[in-house]
Structure 1
Amino acid sequence: MKNIFYSALLFMALTVQSQDTIMPLWPDGKIPNQLKTDEKEIHKNEGILIISKVQKPTIEVYLPSQRNATGEAMLIFPGGGYAVLAYDWEGRDIAKFLNSKGIAGIVVKYRLPSDATQTDKQNVPLIDAQRAMRLVRSKAEAWNIKKDKIGIIGFSAGGHLASTLGTHFDEKVYAIVDEADNESARPDFMALGYPVITFGLNTHGGSKKNLIGENPSEAMVEHFSNEKHVSSNTPPTFLIHAADDGAVPVENSLLFFQALRDNGVFATMHIYPKGGHGFSLARNDNHLRGWTERLFEWIESLR
């Protein structure tokens, strides 16, 4: 009987611990720009976990063992054209890989722009991204993370969101809801994988349409073309892209890198001759998969 009792306690402890790895971004009833509807979140797994119609944004926290931890963390923004999230391919898998290097990986399940469920939909992903950064900073001590070593990584449209956070981190897009919102939303460093950057020439049409609509104003296009908003305060940036990317032209990364150089921002860019779009960790490509080691070398250079 005693063994059963202790087994039950252990099970409860493990259950609580596992539940603690996923946290809502917002307190109940305080999600900004959210309309009350009957729309439900959709999860489909066809080799990759695809999430759409996100209703309750979360962060999913993966921490390395304390002995391996460097104190660094990265928030991860999966791509999907602002229509879906490639949640494990460009999210959970990245977090686990970061853990292997002692870095905390925090997957952000951010809301996707929707006229049906949101007001000012173009601001909603940035609202969630700013909140995620502030929430993680507020939990840094509890998670053995250094407040000044919290970076971001985003892929494709998630790279657009990451670069939006990196260039619009001080833009006021929502009202303070609790003490966490007193933290800075500025990332300490930024990595962008085959990112959508511009909404001008060479953009990704689907990401642009989903975020700012079919016929956006010139001011809206300008506002979300992130190469135009780089400043000397933009975080140090690491870029990867394949020259043969047929979905998001390599010019997106080239534009951003040039803007970083023009503003004196510490930056590194790796352009691979082939790889296409959406290669994630690229584990099946002996050459391309080296980008992960280049990322860790670059992060070490920031220490």
Structure 2
Amino acid sequence: MTTMGKGAAARRWLRPAMMAFAVACIAAGPAVAQSDKMAPIAIPAQPDAITLNTAPLPDAKAQESWHSQYGSVFARNVTTATLTPFLPDPAKATGAAVIVAPGGGFRTLSMQNEGWDVARALAAQGVAAFVLKYRLNQTPSDMAEFAKPAGPAATPSPRATPEERMAGIAPMIADSRAAFALVRSRAAEWKIDPDRVGMVGFSAGAMLTLATELAGQDAKPAFLGLIYGPLAAVKVPAGAPPLFVALAADDPLFANAGYGLIESWTAAKRPVEFHLYEQGGHGFGMYQKATTSTGWFGDFSRWLAMHGYLKPKAA
């Protein structure tokens, strides 16, 4: 089911909605005792990053920059997409792989808390992980300008249709598809089973993860992990993969709009697991907190094990 380019009405909804969503994401923060002050930093060395074969973002004027905030590091104004491998010890490798999509409202990417730290934890369990630094919507180059409120802090409707959400993220979906193509093209080199490549995403990255499946083209994730993303109902593609969802009940963005996505997957008789934690807010990622949301990664790991991804595939 290809849903990109659904017309002017969707695009009119998406522009203000995505801006409000990004503002709300920044305002929500990770709900931990970390400084919310944004401090510019040098672009970190990324020697293992592989440039994807998607075109640089058209008409981009602001250059990529990075900053620290909430005890993590964030990329901004990404115009060229990359994929960074985190490969397991060959003695522990299971042959499974996960593409990791950090969040940030499509304006930033939480590269450490929702990217590198997740990938390292997966690799430690024998699963090859690949952090996707996808192209982003442009923001002011000047940090002070970027930090100013971009408009009303109202969030977009959590009940917005997937078509509406997908209409404005075609470049990001293209980056995700390119990531799957790259991993599968080098599967033999990286000792990966091309049929066991899944995806996990956080917030906006969760939107991208779901959109990658709903776009119905060539990515075909083996499994999906959506961590504090929207839960609007969808038309589930035939043969949709197993779905893992984690959300905090006090998430300020997506906790009070029903569970249509879960109901959709269940109605389609596709495997789905849903964890609703009492507390955790938005953006908890790999932060260690005094809430049960911190256990999401252990729950996700047990779910991967249940589906056979934490051991080599039986001959």
Q: Distance in 2 between matches of 1:133 and 1:250?
A: 33
Identity %: 29
**Which residue of structure 2 aligns with residue 233 of structure 1?**
239
Q: Distance in 2 between matches of 1:72 and 1:111?
A: 26
- Does residue 246 of the first structure (1) align with residue 252 of the second (2)? yes
The amino acid across from 1:192 in the alignment is L
Q: Distance in 2 between matches of 1:115 and 1:272?
A: 33
- Offset at 1:273? 0.8
1:45 maps to which of 53, 58, 68: 68
CA distance 1:112–1:283, shift in 2 (3 Å): same
Any residues of structure 2 matched to 1:287-298 within 5 Å, and which?
Answer: 287-298=292-303
Q: Distance in 1 between matches of 2:256 and 2:199?
A: 20
**Which residue of structure 2 aligns with residue 257 of structure 1?**
262
Is contact 1:113-1:125 (8 Å) kept?
A: no
Is contact 1:191-1:238 (8 Å) kept?
A: yes
**Which residue of structure 2 aligns with residue 86 of structure 1?**
110
| Paired residue total | 237
Which has the bigger relative contact order, CA under 8 A and spacing at least 6? Answer: 2
Provide, for residues 26-67 of structure 1, a one-character-per-residue CA deviation record: whole Å limited to 9, x for no partner: 1xxxx3473254431011123211111101110011001000
Q: Which moved more, 1:35-44 or 1:149-158?
A: 35-44
CA distance 1:86–1:250, shift in 2 (3 Å): farther
- Does residue 157 of the first structure (1) align with residue 204 of the second (2)? yes
- Offset at 1:233? 2.2
Q: Distance in 1 between matches of 2:237 and 2:222?
A: 14
1:68 maps to which of 77, 92, 107: 92
- Does residue 193 of the first structure (1) align with residue 227 of the second (2)? yes
Which secondary structure state, in structure 2, belongs to the residue aligned with residue 60 of structure 1? strand
Q: Distance in 1 between matches of 2:56 and 2:64?
A: 17
The amino acid across from 1:232 in the alignment is A
Is contact 1:242-1:250 (8 Å) kept?
A: no
2:191 maps to which of 136, 144, 165: 144
**Normalised TM-score (structure 2):** 0.70
Is contact 2:62-2:139 (8 Å) kept?
A: no
Q: Distance in 2 between matches of 1:122 and 1:55?
A: 13
Provide, for residues 235-265 of structure 1, a one-character-per-residue CA deviation record: whole Å limited to 9, x for no partner: 110010011111232536x221111001111
Is contact 2:86-2:123 (8 Å) kept?
A: yes
Any residues of structure 2 matched to 1:55-134 within 5 Å, and which?
Answer: 55-114=79-138, 122-134=169-181
CA distance 1:71–1:265, shift in 2 (3 Å): same
Which secondary structure state, in structure 2, belongs to the residue aligned with residue 142 of structure 1? helix
Mark the runs of 5 or more structure 1 residues left unpaired by the alignment. 1-17, 171-183, 199-226
**Which residue of structure 1 aligns with residue 48 of structure 2?**
21
Mark the runs of 5 or more structure 2 residues left unpaired by the alignment. 1-44, 141-166, 309-315
CA distance 1:286–1:67, shift in 2 (3 Å): farther
Cα RMSD (Å) of the superposition?
Answer: 2.2
Q: Distance in 2 between matches of 1:61 and 1:302?
A: 23
- Offset at 1:282? 4.0
The amino acid across from 1:82 in the alignment is F
- Offset at 1:121? 5.0
Q: Which runs of 4+ in 1 moved over 6 A?
A: none
Is contact 2:97-2:196 (8 Å) kept?
A: yes
Is contact 2:77-2:139 (8 Å) kept?
A: no
CA distance 1:105–1:285, shift in 2 (3 Å): farther
